[in-house]
Amino acid sequence: MIAIGIDVGGTFTDVVLSRDGGIVTAKAETTHYDLKAGVFNAIRSAADQINAELNEVLSAASAIVYSTTVGTNALIERRGTRLGVITTHGFEDAIMVGRSSNWADGLPPQAKYDRGRGRRPLPIIPRDNIVGALERIDNLGQVLMPLNETHLHTKIQELVDRGVRGIVVVTLNSFVNSIHERRIAEIIRSDYPECYLGHLPVYLSSDISPQMDEYRRAMTVILDAYLREVSEDHLLRMVEDLREGGYRRPVFVAKNTGGISSLSRTQALHLYGSGPAAAVMGAAFLRNLTGCDSAVIADMGGTSFDVGLVGAGAETTYEQNPIIDRFRVQIPIVPHWSIGAGGGSIAGLENGVLKVGPQSAGSNPGPACYAMGGENPTVTDADVVLGFVNPEYFLGGAFRLDPERAHDAIKRKVADPLGLSTAEAAWNIKRIIDGIMGQEIYRLSVYRLGQDPRTLTMFAMGGAGPVHATGLADFADIRRILTFPFSSVFGAFSTLTLDLFQSYEKTLVATLYAREHGGHKIDGIERINQEMRGLIDLARRDMSEEGFEMESVQLKGEAMLCYRNQRQTLQVPMPGLTLAGHADVKQLCDAFNTAYAARYGEGAVFKEVGIELLALRLIASVPTAKPSVAHSTKRSSAPAERKGTRKVFWGPALGFVDTPVYDREALSEGSQLEGPVLCEGKDTVLVVPAGWDLRIGVRDLAWIDKRLSPAAAGSTQ
Amino acid sequence: MGKLFDSRAIQFEGFIYDRDVYPRGPGYDPAIIAEGLAPITEIEQRGMDQLSDVDLEILSHKLTCVVEEAHDVYQELSISEAILTGDMNTGILTASGDPAVVATGIYFHSMLNCAQAKYILRYYKDDPTLGLKDGDIYFFNDDFAGVTHVYDMFTTMPIFYRGELVAWATCGGHQGDTGGMAPGGHAALATSRFEEGLRVPQLRIGENFQIRTDILDYLCQAVRNPLVFASDLKARVATCLRIRDRLVAEMDRRGPEPVVGGMRKLLSRAGRLARERLAELPDGIFRAIIFTDNLGRELGLSRIPTTVFKEGDELTVLVNGVSPEASCGAMNATWHLVRAALGVYLFSYFFRGLPPNAGLLEPVRVLVEGPSILNATGEVARGFGTQTAACVVQNLHIIGSKIAYAGGYEESVTTPFSRNPQLYLYAGENRRGYQQANISTLGNAAGQGAQFDRDGESAFGFYWGACVDSGETEALDSRYTNFRLARRVECNAHGFGKYRGGAPLAEVSMTYGPKGCLMTGAGACDKVSQNPGLFGGYAGPTNPQVVIRNTNVRELMARSDPRLDFDTAHDLLVNRPIDGDYQFRSSSTATEQFNHGDLFIENVSGAGGYGDVLEREPQAVLEDVRSRLITREVAEKVYGVFITADGHTIDVGATAEKRRAIRAERLALGKPFAEFIKEWSRKKPPQAILKYYGQWPDPRVESYDQPFWGIYPKA
């Protein structure tokens, strides 16, 4: 049995083969002209490692899970389908204006405050392609103004004349009453039937995202429709290629909701950011495997620093209104946070003070030491100057760095103006970037997870993650770090840990608790249950298409609750899929009060004001076979053999110190090393300062622990 | 004072300039409010000495994380419309009460929520009936004691570390209803502070980290929406506690000295950077003037002049020759409000790129003549003083843009965000059965100012701050008493120029339901715009209140009548497809009942334009017409651009001819400056609108016949 996980990234295409004996990993350059070439090169490379042919591996594979950035790239380049929008007349500007201040969505903090020079993002749909229908439904679903069909026909014709290739319909309050949206769809389909060339696909907001708030609902549907054609074309081609290569089973795609599904059950928007979402779920899998309580992912690459959180227990945290590109949408995704930090973050003086990031040299021209034209000093340059990164062994020696350029850039632009030595300047660059990253992790851990960071394990990933892990851990109050040999292909690995998954959301306003009306209220139960049954029907439809009977599907209901009139909700598990009566309502409300107190403090609880349900959510999942991360075959009690020593700058107090260097690949289970020490691998360097210990555990996992004083050790117990 | 100021500035005798004019009273002390940054304490000095620039950089990020998290908590827990949309602030004050770090939708809050801590330290800490201890919770909303106006409500808590006061956590924002004469707050027609409702200088409402129930009950009883009040108060306390927890954890990690020293150092550093920026810019005396036309109960002109002395590394903003305070409405401002409001411009534009905190104001001196409409005495109403204080900000914005342009900081050169004040306060039962009383969110969809190299964005944000949003219709329909029929970027509603100002969002909404709703208006700019243009650009237009009573809109809606296919509010008002009683009236109105089907039309006008309209690319004018930002009439008459009948191309010949004609017309109107002054000085508005103006033309000098700039002696 072979399962293949594929993750197509901007630079590399990663593949993980999972089979009974463990996993095999491979990388190939991403071939942007035709992604298939990179994918097949990577699979072929993995096949070589098990002495098999490409078609043998594909024929033997029982599952392929594919994670792609095709939607991301199409959105950045604005290469999606030319669409038109029909909305309620009078609100044609709502998509452009949004909430006014949402122009700042997706921008770094300092840019959000620069309102004098702020700009809106390039629109997905030109304003001319948005028309209004004469109709109006109120927030309770009552039709105030019937749809004027004569007027509508002229508006549809306007869109057709502009050459649109699909129409999004998003009318006000359609999430309560979709009668007008459905009628508009009927009219379009009647005018442009599917049996003729040039028919117009119609996307209804009440189908795709039946939730309150028209800007976010519209952007959800628009982005989904915009990316559908380009995503579908790509995926269908890829499936065809894989079939030609010998693969016979369905191809699953990874989704940003933290699961997989077949193509026919996947919305295009769910592909966006599926890689980082998969990484969070993969980390949850590893957390269970290693017995950690909670974990934080610190993925530091050349151009970005991504943080993901894995809380204690089985519940996954979702972001209800995430930002995609520069637009806020309504799909609940497994969140990750990108922070403007990475190996390419530029260091420089601003008003005489050293700043690092968020500007990045990117991968081209990249850091000065890449010798590709970059002249600005970066974090990677600092790592080279400090001795953490071996310029001769970057990416296992595949890419040689120029230490002189790194030294020169830091000296000219930081050290000399500040009157510091180059090493001290580099050390300051490292401290600032570590501080920013560590403090951001602390903020997210305590706020989003509500957990003491001292109980977290940091999963350090990416080429620069293990280099900076101990440095930023000090700022995050984290004391344990885990790195693993397949971290450089963790995205591909993670795709194999995902369950078959669908989620459904529906806005529904119901009062569950009102003190002035005698406490818990059950008069809304039937409506709640009716909506939930509707979501279950959708799950039945989709899972049946996937080939599963409902008996094998795990269903979980969640309610979005808030105190009366609040806008922000908390996600609370339903006692059952439907509510049976007073006791269930009380249990739901109690769970909400408890969750609220845990997040905001006991004093913030205010049930007297009333409790409302604002939305329902249903999650349907089918567990999949998980990858086998085999125990290491090598185990040695003998001390690990040094590769050599290198002068490493460990701060102004210690200066350059001869530091032992080990080969990460040569270390085996049971190896233990005390910091200061460096362990070089092909894709990263494990930097272990004094006061930290490195231990290689089962499955070749590397644990880096802070040595605690007895008092500190006791404080976490 | 500098040489320029000493030789050229006039301060009239008998007036107070450098602080609030009202005397000390119970719970407030203008002398404290006027104090600058407190002296550096011993512990702060020790901490500052320990901190390198690198440490400070990391600490700055940490403290920002703390207040940003608090900002999120506050918004998540609150239910006031204005807080939900970002009209709020969270921050950390130094132990002495100076604002060190803030996260905000509105910058000026961060300078209006600190005098209270200083007052507590000066007068309450050693009072045996009060004292000051860990877990104390204070509430305040009184403008006498230093806040914006009574509608902004704050909570502050001292933060102790190992028994020592090390900082203050603070948070607050626009909550609205105070139980005053207008449901929802902003009673523009109030003539006395006693008509403005709840007024609390600073009140200890809780101890041991808990709100006292009896005090909470008392406060809730004082306002119309007790559940909103209580809910938001709890939100503020939870937010302050979050700040406290995080700050204490940081002191556990670093020790208290570097943290308190770091906070003080951030202020000092900002002050130093502000001075360095000022030193780069050219010296000079700069002037601008705005007139406001609505005083609440009466229409009439008030004069708001501003003179700026830029000398070396200092900036002095002198407001003199200003109209007296007005007893017929709530447009009176305070010295401290003017000072804080100037920070909104300075932080976002003039000192763009520098760390925004109160330290930036250290080299800025603010002198506001009082008693006047901008520095009012104790008894007049002041709840809408923000609108008058903003006129000084507009003046400074225009002046600052000129200084920045001359100094090479072109990206700071813009016209201001649009802000012609027009607030509609709706009250009644919403369609979820809740009582609701609050301002609409449409002011948060103002136009961005035109810039030196491009047009302003339309419907882009709020004049007073970043990150303040205008909401989504579906949520607003379920929360408010009125019901929206259209929200469109308005036509002909921005300032024209080489680069145009951003246009506002205009909303057409309807009273909905048999009970109708109440609406109160607060605003100005019915006849005179306060959205100035720059370097020849037009001002944004005026915007009186518009309501349409007794309409047939329900009948038209019931049959989906094509007459409702109007394009913008401009189209509705010009072509009047809906029958009804169209009323164009003062922006400041008493609370009135409106009935099912009555319509409201609301916008805050657009930002002023930049540069000469004749320099605007004809193609850009065509695009403005196509996107309904302007009519063909404006294209032709203002820009001199003619578009062919099909609407797709420029009529190049006609355009060239028209622009030549306009230039010729301008030349014909030209005259020597002295001649213009002579002619101009003879003009005088009708006496009826000068009732609250003071002496004409200079409010402070009887029978003075020189224009604004004439009051300064020659060098």
Q: Is B227 on the interface with A (CB under 8 A)?
A: yes
Q: Is B632 on the interface with A (CB under 8 A)?
A: no
pTM: 0.93
CA distance A563 to chain B (A): 9
Task: Report if residue B348 sits inside a domain.
Answer: no
Task: Report if residue B531 sits inside a domain.
Answer: yes
* Residue A687 CA neighbour count, 13 Å, CB half: 26
Rounded to the nearest 5 degrees, what angle is found at the Cα of A642, between the Cα atoms of A641 and A647?
A: 170
Interchain CB distance below 8 Å, A606 and B231: yes
CA distance B190 to chain A (A): 30
- Residue B229 structural domain: 45-270
C-alpha span between A391 and B393 (Å, rounded): 55
Nearest Cα residue to B416 out of B285, B609, B286: B609
C-alpha span between A476 and A277 (Å, rounded): 22
Phi then psi for B674, rounded to 5 degrees?
A: -60, -35
Do A690 and A675 contact (CB within 8 A), yes or no?
yes
Tell me the Ramachandran region of residue A445: left when phi exceeds 0, alpha when psi lies from -120 to 50, beta otherwise: alpha
Residue A416 makes CB contacts below 8 A (sequence gap 6+) with none
Q: Is B502 on the interface with A (CB under 8 A)?
A: no
Phi then psi for B149, rounded to 5 degrees?
A: -155, 170
Residue with tokens 């049930």: A607
Task: Report if residue B156 sits inside a domain.
Answer: yes
Q: Helix A403-410 to helix A379-386 angle, to the nearest 10 degrees?
A: 110
Residue of A nearest to B571 (CA): A90
Question: Of the candidates B270, B285, B303, which is a domain's last residue?
Answer: B270
Interchain CB distance below 8 Å, B470 and A568: no
**pLDDT of A716:** 38
Q: Which helix (H) or strand (E) holds B608?
A: none
What is the average per-residue pLDDT within A566-578?
92
Q: What is the ipTM of this complex?
A: 0.94
Record the tokens describing residue B160, joined without a space.
């102790």
- What's A201's DSSP letter? -
Nearest Cα residue to A109 out of A449, A305, A338: A338
**pLDDT of A110:** 79
What is the average per-residue pLDDT within B152-167?
97
* Residue A107 CA neighbour count, 13 Å, CB half: 19
CA distance B116 to chain A (A): 24
Q: At B711, is the pLDDT very low, low, confident or very high (cuts 50, 70, 90)?
A: very low
* B704, burial (CB in 10 Å: exposed 0-12, middle 13-18, buried 19+): middle
CA distance A409 to chain B (A): 19
Record the tokens describing residue A272, joined without a space.
């966006």
* Chain B residues closer than 8 Å to A117 by CB: 352, 411, 414, 451
Please give the residue that has the higher pLDDT: either A716 or B9: B9
Q: In the predicted model, is pLDDT for residue B708 greater than 50?
A: no
CB-nearest partner of A115 from B466, B471, B477: B466
Do A371 and A409 contact (CB within 8 A), yes or no?
no
Task: Report if residue B508 sits inside a domain.
Answer: yes
Q: Do B203 and B134 reside in the same domain of the chain?
A: yes
**pLDDT of B435:** 85
* Chain B residues closer than 8 Å to A99 by CB: 469-472
Q: At A179, is the pLDDT very low, low, confident or very high (cuts 50, 70, 90)?
A: very high
Q: In the predicted model, is pLDDT for residue B703 greater than 70?
A: no
CA distance A54 to chain B (A): 50
Q: Do B141 and B50 reside in the same domain of the chain?
A: yes
C-alpha span between B266 and B44 (Å, rounded): 11
| pLDDT single digits (tens) A38-91 | 999 999 999 999 999 999 999 999 999 999 888 888 888 888 999 999 999 999
Task: Report if residue B483 sits inside a domain.
Answer: yes
> Among A341-350, A401-410, B333-342, B604-613, where is mean pLDDT lowest?
A341-350
* Chain A residues closer than 8 Å to B474 by CB: 139, 172-173, 175, 212-214
Q: Is B483 on the interface with A (CB under 8 A)?
A: yes
**pLDDT of A665:** 87
CB-nearest partner of B469 from A101, A113, A601: A101
Residue with tokens 């219709």: B473
Please report the sign of the dihedral spanned by the C-alpha atoms of residue B77, residue B80, residue B81, residue B86.
negative
Q: Is A93 on the interface with B (CB under 8 A)?
A: yes
Residue A2 makes CB contacts below 8 A (sequence gap 6+) with A17, A18, A19, A57, A60, A61, A62
Q: Helix B226-254 to helix B213-221 angle, to the nearest 10 degrees?
A: 140
| pLDDT single digits (tens) B614-651 | 999 999 999 999 999 999 999 999 999 999 999 999 99
- What's B534's DSSP letter? B
Residues 508-527 of A with CB under 8 A from B: 509
Q: How many residues are listed for chain A in this entry?
A: 717
CATH number for region A279-342+438-495? 3.30.420.40
Record the tokens describing residue B193, joined without a space.
């502070």
According to CATH, the topology of domain A75-227 is Dna Topoisomerase Vi A Subunit; Chain: A, domain 2 (3.40.1360)
Task: Report if residue B24 sits inside a domain.
Answer: no
Q: Do B195 and B217 reside in the same domain of the chain?
A: yes
Q: In the predicted model, is pLDDT for residue B294 greater than 80?
A: yes
Provide the mean pLDDT of chain A. 91
C-alpha span between A268 and A261 (Å, rounded): 12
**Side chain identity, residue A36:** K
Do B399 and B286 contact (CB within 8 A), yes or no?
yes
**pLDDT of B712:** 47
* Residue B515 CA neighbour count, 13 Å, CB half: 13
Beta carbons within 10 angstroms of residue A160's beta carbon:
17
| pLDDT single digits (tens) B414-424 | 999 999 888 99
Please state whether beta strands B545-549 and B581-585 pair in parallel, antiparallel, or not at all (unpaired).
antiparallel
Nearest Cα residue to A259 out of A67, A402, A115: A67
Question: Is the bond leading into A358 cis (omega within 30 degrees of zero)?
Answer: yes
Q: At B122, is the pLDDT very low, low, confident or very high (cuts 50, 70, 90)?
A: very high
C-alpha span between A255 and A68 (Å, rounded): 9
Residue with tokens 């459905």: A182
Q: Are A75-227 and A279-342+438-495 the same fold in CATH?
A: no
Strand partners, A14: A7, A27
**pLDDT of A711:** 59
Please state whether beta strands A692-696 and A143-145 pair in parallel, antiparallel, or not at all (unpaired).
unpaired
Interchain CB distance below 8 Å, B457 and A477: no
Q: In the predicted model, is pLDDT for residue B705 greater than 60?
A: no
Q: Do B486 and B632 reside in the same domain of the chain?
A: no
Strand partners, A407: none
CA distance A537 to chain B (A): 27
Q: Is B246 on the interface with A (CB under 8 A)?
A: yes
Chain centroid offset of residue B551 CA: 34
> Among B38-47, B205-214, B467-476, where is mean pLDDT lowest?
B467-476
**Side chain identity, residue A86:** I
Q: Do B645 and B528 reside in the same domain of the chain?
A: no
Do A649 and A655 contact (CB within 8 A), yes or no?
yes
Q: How far is CA A594 from CA A449, B349, B440, in A?
A: 15, 45, 34
Residue extents of the structural domains in chain A? 2-74+231-274, 75-227, 279-342+438-495, 345-432, 501-622, 643-715
Q: Is A113 on the interface with B (CB under 8 A)?
A: yes
Question: Of the candidates B219, B239, B270, which is a domain's last residue?
Answer: B270
| pLDDT single digits (tens) A406-440 | 999 999 999 999 999 999 999 999 999 999 999 99
Please state whether beta strands B164-174 and B152-161 pair in parallel, antiparallel, or not at all (unpaired).
antiparallel
Nearest Cα residue to A219 out of A348, A96, A336, A315: A96
**pLDDT of A717:** 34
Interchain CB distance below 8 Å, B466 and A104: yes
Task: Report if residue B698 sits inside a domain.
Answer: no
Q: In the predicted model, is pLDDT for residue A635 greater than 80?
A: no
Q: In the predicted model, is pLDDT for residue B706 greater than 80?
A: no
What is the average per-residue pLDDT within B380-388?
94
According to CATH, the topology of domain A2-74+231-274 is Nucleotidyltransferase; domain 5 (3.30.420)
Do A508 and A613 contact (CB within 8 A), yes or no?
yes
Residues 19-48 of A with CB under 8 A from B: none
Do B504 and B603 contact (CB within 8 A), yes or no?
yes
CB-nearest partner of A116 from B209, B449, B472: B449
Task: Report if residue B658 sits inside a domain.
Answer: yes
Record the tokens describing residue A90, joined without a space.
């009078």
Provide the mean pLDDT of chain B. 93
Residue of A nearest to B254 (CA): A475
**pLDDT of A130:** 98
Q: Do B564 and B637 reside in the same domain of the chain?
A: no
Phi then psi for B681, rounded to 5 degrees?
A: -70, -15
CA distance A403 to chain B (A): 24
Strands, E assignment, B557-607 = 581-585, 589-594, 599-602
What is the average per-residue pLDDT within A475-484?
94
Q: Do B139 and B200 reside in the same domain of the chain?
A: yes
What is the average per-residue pLDDT within A648-660?
96
* Chain B residues closer than 8 Å to A604 by CB: 77, 234-235, 237-238
Beta carbons within 10 angstroms of residue B356's beta carbon:
21
Interchain CB distance below 8 Å, A609 and B457: no
* B665, burial (CB in 10 Å: exposed 0-12, middle 13-18, buried 19+): exposed
Q: Do B564 and B597 reside in the same domain of the chain?
A: yes
Rounded to the nearest 5 degrees, what angle is found at the Cα of B593, between the Cα atoms of B587 and B596?
A: 110
Nearest Cα residue to B629 out of B548, B567, B580: B567
Question: Of the candidates B239, B270, B301, which is a domain's last residue?
Answer: B270
Please report the sign of the dihedral spanned by the C-alpha atoms of residue B279, residue B281, residue B283, residue B285.
negative
Residue with tokens 């002191």: B251
Nearest Cα residue to A294 out of A455, A438, A477: A455
Do B435 and B224 contact (CB within 8 A), yes or no?
yes
